[in-house]
Chains A and B, each alone.
Chain A
């Protein structure tokens, strides 16, 4: 009975661990990882480690919730509405995973594991409690101080206000080609128009890369107009935008000069997809 439960739980744990990296929807990936942890917690329960099993479920539910929020923040495709696979060194990593699994399995099968099983009547919770606040108090206290340091560190690392200014001042994203000029938005303290001046040169690059399938045709029109305009200067951008408004016939009249600013975002987001 316990063996059947163990086999089912391990199968679900391994399968959902694999699905984490195969599903398109990021929220499903996060909660597949949570299912994997819940199954490991269940196996721990079967081994009479009551507290550890349930505490694993408890902790992992909260951790995966937070991770889900970060997924939605940082990943391009959180709901999996488009199929996507952002991987690099794919075969190497599959090889490494298989080598690790085989190596560890061989090590497990080859060693003569000692056999001192848990006595059936041992009160594991009581032992854990007495040890945690008795003989192993140092471990407990160190873990407490470490977690305090983690809390402080996490808040400080991720705070936007620093002693010498905001943390994202002067942030330029990496170039579309390695070592190239930065693409995307530049965070300026003073507002957006100086940044637009810098965009003119970038938009020149956009014309060369054929990645506009998800943009409206007005962007194509604008991209064609760009080479005809001289180098970007702030005033030129405004004139150009005015010309653009007159040039775009039926296009969105609601979009002011700023409508070329989303392009670098989209390109910056699209490019890593096309590289491998």
Chain B
């Protein structure tokens, strides 16, 4: 369980999350991709704390901050999804194309 192994697992999670965020059409699935990316980031933060910081508490704070970011992103993301649906009846990403040209 070296730092390298943990970081490789974290980058794998990040890569899968990036694939999901770019490929999914529905808003909710896109947010699942973002959550996976943050998952990878959380694992990387905890890994760095455990192996390079000698247990300084700032590392754990970074991890807690990442968790707070996840919560905020989920809440505001879903509120925006609901608001967009009410206004435009759009539940896929393709439907919001007014800035395209």
Contacts and interface: CB of A to CB of B under 8 A. Distances in A.
Interface of A: 2-3, 6, 10, 13-14, 17-18, 20-21, 26, 29-30, 33, 36-37, 40, 43-44, 46-49, 51-52, 55-56, 59, 63, 66-67, 70-71, 74-75, 86-90, 92-94, 96-98, 100-101, 104-105, 108-109, 113-119, 122, 124, 127-128, 130-132, 136, 139, 143, 146-147, 150-151, 153-155, 157-158, 160, 167-168, 171-174, 178, 184-185, 272, 275
Contacts of A185: 89
A52 B57 contact: no
A174 B97 contact: yes
Contacts, number: 268
Contact of B19 (A10, A21, A52, A143): A21
Nearest to B89: A173
A79 B84 CA distance: 24
Given A56-B67, A101-B11, A150-B75, A118 B50 contact: yes
Interface of B: 1, 3-29, 31-33, 35-36, 39, 42-43, 46-47, 49-58, 60-61, 63-65, 67-68, 70-72, 74-76, 78-83, 85-97
Nearest to A9: B9
* A contact face: mostly helix, strand, loop, or mixed: helix
A33 B36 CA distance: 8
B20 A124 contact: no
Given A74-B28, A104-B15, A87 B81 contact: no
Contact of B78 (A114, A154, A272): A154
Contacts of B49: 47, 49, 118
A20 B76 contact: no
Contacts of A2: 1
A151 B75 contact: yes
Contacts of B72: 146-147, 150
Given A130-B57, A139-B61, 5 more contacts: A44-B43, A51-B60, A66-B78, A115-B52, A116-B52
A210 to B, nearest CB: 21
B53 A116 contact: yes
B35 to A, nearest CB: 6
B1 to A, nearest CB: 4
Nearest to B42: A40
Q: Which of B18, B49, B57, B71 has the most CB of A within 10 A?
A: B57
Contact of B79 (A29, A75, A158, A168): A158
Contacts of B4: 108-109, 113
